[in-house]
Structure 1
Amino acid sequence: MEKKEVTVDYTDGMAFNGKVAQFDIHMDAKPEVGGLDKGPTPKPLLLVSLGGCTGMDVVSLLKKMRQEYDSYKMKISGEQTDEHPKHYHKIHVEYIFEGESLDEGKVKKAVDLSQEKYCGVSYMLKQAAELTYSITINGSTI
């Protein structure tokens, strides 16, 4: 089994610096809770991690399927509980593609494989939240 390790150092106020290999991620809180709003708060970074994980899967799978696109992005939303510990109990990923030669079936297969087989972040988050997804190609949801 591969082991990963990151470090998170307190800087000041409510700010922390996360170190992943040679990369820095600065986090802070909103002013109303003592921060200076100089970086994202931690929970939305979970959504960013989800997007990165599934996004990389989909890019790799579509390349193998010889599918070319003009643009690809994801919009990821998370709904938090009102009570503490506040956490995401619903997460939705919208995969958005633009490209004239895209095969809807292949795009759907790539996204399904990522969500159901390959993306470890999706797998982990599904243990704690309802995770749904949709696919939009050239402005139409499939």
Structure 2
Amino acid sequence: MPEINVTLQHAGGTVTTGQARSHSVVIDRPEDKGGNDKGPMGGELLLLSLGGCFLSTFLGFVKADGHPLDEELVSLNVTGVLTPAPTRFTEVNVAVTAPAELEGELSKQFLKAERGCIVHNSIKDSIKVVFEYRWTTGG
């Protein structure tokens, strides 16, 4: 079976460094939670991972279809709803914003990206994930 492997190393205090291929990320807690605020918390990384996975999967489908999309036209806001005891996400909302004039061309790729995103497929049975598409008009 294919695998993805990352490594993590304690870097002092509350700081952890993570390595994925040739890429590094610093993970830490905010100051109000006893950390040094040197990087996002693990929960924030989960939200970033979901959004990044969805968007890169979407852009892969757009490129494969030969669509000349300016990638900067699409943006995401990912919000996790926390529940205590134990603290965890019970819902994640992904608000995708794109130009209304591209709705007909991009709707199918957005749905394919939902189904093709590794992170979404991994968490959707444990966490309610809601995708909302906001089609904006210029102006």
Shorter-normalised TM range: 0.7 to 0.9
1:96 is matched with 97
The reply on whether 1:73 has 2:75 as its aligned counterpart is yes
1:75 Cα deviation from its structure 2 partner: 0.6
Gaps of 5+ in 1: none
1:68 Cα deviation from its structure 2 partner: 2.7
Taking structure 2 as the reference length, what is the TM-score of the superposition?
Answer: 0.87
Identity among equivalent positions (%) equals: 24
SS of 2:75 mapped into structure 1: strand
Taking structure 1 as the reference length, what is the TM-score of the superposition?
Answer: 0.85
SS of 2:11 mapped into structure 1: strand
1:20 Cα deviation from its structure 2 partner: 0.8
CA RMSD after TM alignment: 2.0
Gaps of 5+ in 2: none
1:62 Cα deviation from its structure 2 partner: 2.5
| Aligned mates of 1:96, 1:67 — CA distance in 2 | 18
The reply on whether 1:18 has 2:18 as its aligned counterpart is yes
**Paired residues, number:** 136
How do 1:113-124 residues align onto structure 2 when only pairs under 5 Å count? 113-115=112-114, 117-124=115-122
